[in-house]
A and B are shown apart, each in its own frame.
Chain A
Amino acid sequence: MDRIGIVLVGAGFIADAHSGAIDADPRAELIGIVDAAPGRAAAFARKQGGIRHAPDLDTALAWPGVDAVILCTPNDTHAPIGLAVAAAGKHLLVEKPLATTVADAQRLASAFQAAGKVLVAAHTHRFYDYGRAVKQTIDAGLIGRPRLVRLAILGGWIWPDWSAWVGDPQRSGGHALHNGVHLLDLATWWLDGQPASVFARGRKQTAAELRIYDYLEMVVTYADGATAVCEMSRAHRPGSIAQRELLVTGTEGIVEQGWDGESSLVFGESGTSTLPAAGGNGFAAQLGAWLDTIGGAPSLMPVGDAVRAVTLGVAVEESIATGRPVAVMA
């Protein structure tokens, strides 16, 4: 069987996770790397054993054996680059969010549908062990009909400095689009719900001069009356204590995982920190699912769900700005 030839676009830190997933899957082959900074592209290529590298997408799309693209560039570039990938007739795995506006997200969805190619947004938490286990627990009927999701992903500051594009809402779409969509998608997927409204609060905790909210509290009310309370934080101190907490209540039971449900705790001379358990590779599982879909299997991360996540993320930013709930027709 021919391997799926993949080009990575964007040599930032998340590219390593994707290239690691490609290395682990015999169905995939990393053809080359694209980055607007030629030196960074060349360095990444050397690290990968001398793969091709280029500073522009057009060159890479013309390389022989390229079937698909993994896009890891700043969020505001997802739409224009993604549309170019569709026009070239390649499959696309795009880092979340699918786009920074609903219109762009829909445009991408339409373009790939018209091209007959597979578009998947990297909502990786669907492929993490805990995300799948909660979904399986709910789908098995163990807690009846789910009515409430509480999901918190909390940690300290991770972005390097004031120049980080994530901190620029024009480039990232804001924190709700950049990281919030992970939780908005996961909770909605678990609930299998139809979002009706969003109410959100944001806080610039680390510095008053921040242009994005490093703490987000996003509450989604669903058409059936279910509720999701999602917290996404890079504001919690100390940053060495990464916390993920979840609670789902249903008509027949509850499922929960506290902050210590997966991590161990290190009490050291240099302080206290959490130590996540070794486990499955969510990026590899995500890549495998994308390859399955390219091969004809149903998508585990449908494009419509990625558009919905953008819709919810945009609603979060609007709700924070207005202080009011925002109706959504996702």
Chain B
Amino acid sequence: MTRVALVGNAGIGTQDHQSSMYGPAFERHPGFQVVDNVDEAEVLSIALPLAERGKAVADAVRAGKHVLADKPLAATLAEAEEIERLAAEHGVVVVPAHHQRLAPALRSAIGAVRAGRVGLPWNVQCDFIVAGGDPAPTGELVNFGLYPVDVVRALLGLEVRRVHATGSPDLVTLLLDHDHGVTSTIVCGRVPELRDVPPGGLAVHRYRISGSHGVLAVDARKPALQVRTTGTNGPVWTGPGTVDALLDVLAAGIAAGRAAIGPHDAVQAQRVIEAAQRSMATGHPVETKE
């Protein structure tokens, strides 16, 4: 059993993903044991306010701890890059909470696209729209824009070279250019609370991957049952949890010395988010200068 200590109960705005997500997932995971003493822990689960998060992760890495970090990994690209460098230097695993790419439908989709099921992909369209819950004071681009960016990177295996963004920080449209003329578009943000969608839940989460030989349409809110009663009408999730799958990634990464999701993914996502912010400010496309 790998010992893990829970560090922090905060995030962006009112978020407490430690209590709502990571802590319970560690408690039920067969490979981890939650301990109170940080010094006894081999892994730190860090969910601190964003302004403090990057430094705390960097300090943990310097102390030789593996890290599960709330998203985004750090407040700036520079901080994320420093964490990536430190993790390599100290030989520890840092897993940022990019757990949406582990949704069952997306895991299948990533495998299918990378195996050529639609031929050569040339475009991805994504909607990642949350309904209700507490708006992020940073804007939703900073809060969860990295999720769909990370999924698109995983689907295509292509980095983002140019970003054009329009809309507002709480409902933004990202137009991304990748290598080989491949394009993607992400609509990401928060809409008002909707009936039968839990506050803060995903009202729309879908991807369309167009390729030279076919199209893959993915509703990432599935697998689910549709349950209708006299008072409700909504989906009931039937798949494994994405945070549980994230801890599987962490456990496997610790065992292997390298995790399937790492600080480089956070760096690349943050690069896109910051380019989008510059694009919103200038009204023009921005090179990511990767």
Q: Which residues of B contact A215 (CB under 8 A)?
A: 123, 210
The complex places the Cα of A323 from the Cα of B181 at a distance, in Å, of 13
The complex places the Cα of A323 from the Cα of B284 at a distance, in Å, of 10
CB B70 to nearest CB in A, in angstroms, measures 27
* Contact bitstring A190-212, B, C-beta under 8 A = 1, else 0: 00000001010101010000000
Instruction: Among B167, B191, B210, point to the contact of A227 (Cβ < 8 A).
Output: B167
CB closest residue in chain B, given A206: B212
Of listed A150, A238, A259, residue having the most chain B CB within 10 A:
A150
The complex places the Cα of A110 from the Cα of B52 at a distance, in Å, of 63
Of listed A249, A252, A253, residue having the most chain B CB within 10 A:
A249
Q: Which residues of B contact A203 (CB under 8 A)?
A: 122-123, 181, 183
User: Looking at the complex, which of A6-14, A26-34, A126-134, A229-237 is the stretch in contact with chain B?
Assistant: A229-237
Instruction: Among B183, B208, B217, point to the contact of A201 (Cβ < 8 A).
Output: B183
Docked-complex contact A225 and B167, CB < 8 angstroms: yes
The yes or no answer to A241 lying at the interface (CB within 8 A) is yes
A227-B285 in contact given A217-B183, A237-B213 (Cβ < 8 Å): no
* Contact bitstring B141-170, A, C-beta under 8 A = 1, else 0: 000000000000000000000001011100
Docked-complex contact B129 and A199, CB < 8 angstroms: no
Inter-chain contact total with CB atoms closer than 8 Å = 89
Docked-complex contact A150 and B166, CB < 8 angstroms: no
CB A329 to nearest CB in B, in angstroms, measures 16
The yes or no answer to B110 lying at the interface (CB within 8 A) is no
Interface residues of B (CB under 8 A from A): 119, 122-123, 125, 127, 129, 131, 164, 166-168, 171, 173, 175, 177, 181, 183, 185, 187, 191-192, 194, 203-204, 208, 210-215, 217, 283-285
CB A159 to nearest CB in B, in angstroms, measures 19
The yes or no answer to A25 lying at the interface (CB within 8 A) is no
Docked-complex contact A148 and B167, CB < 8 angstroms: yes
Main secondary structure of the interface of A (DSSP, over half): strand
The yes or no answer to A57 lying at the interface (CB within 8 A) is no
The complex places the Cα of A247 from the Cα of B187 at a distance, in Å, of 11
Docked-complex contact A325 and B284, CB < 8 angstroms: yes
Q: Which residues of A contact B164 (CB under 8 A)?
A: 199, 325
Of listed B123, B131, B166, B177, residue having the most chain A CB within 10 A:
B166
Q: Which residues of B contact A217 (CB under 8 A)?
A: 123, 175, 183, 185
Docked-complex contact A325 and B283, CB < 8 angstroms: yes
* Contact bitstring A151-170, B, C-beta under 8 A = 1, else 0: 01010000000000000000
Docked-complex contact B122 and A254, CB < 8 angstroms: no
CB B200 to nearest CB in A, in angstroms, measures 16
The yes or no answer to A52 lying at the interface (CB within 8 A) is no
Docked-complex contact B204 and A254, CB < 8 angstroms: yes
Q: Which residues of B contact A245 (CB under 8 A)?
A: 208
The complex places the Cα of A129 from the Cα of B129 at a distance, in Å, of 26
Instruction: Among A152, A205, A249, point to the contact of B191 (Cβ < 8 A).
Output: A249
Instruction: Among B122, B175, B203, B213, point to the contact of A219 (Cβ < 8 A).
Output: B175
Q: Which residues of B contact A323 (CB under 8 A)?
A: 285
The complex places the Cα of A240 from the Cα of B185 at a distance, in Å, of 24
Q: Which residues of A contact B191 (CB under 8 A)?
A: 249-250, 253-254
The yes or no answer to A324 lying at the interface (CB within 8 A) is yes
CB B131 to nearest CB in A, in angstroms, measures 8
CB B218 to nearest CB in A, in angstroms, measures 12
Instruction: Taking A150-B187, A197-B166, A203-B183 as given, write out 8 further A-B residue pairs in contact, using a Cβ cutoff of 8 Å, ordered by the A residue number.
Output: A148-B187, A197-B283, A219-B185, A225-B167, A235-B210, A236-B210, A237-B214, A241-B215
Docked-complex contact A219 and B173, CB < 8 angstroms: yes
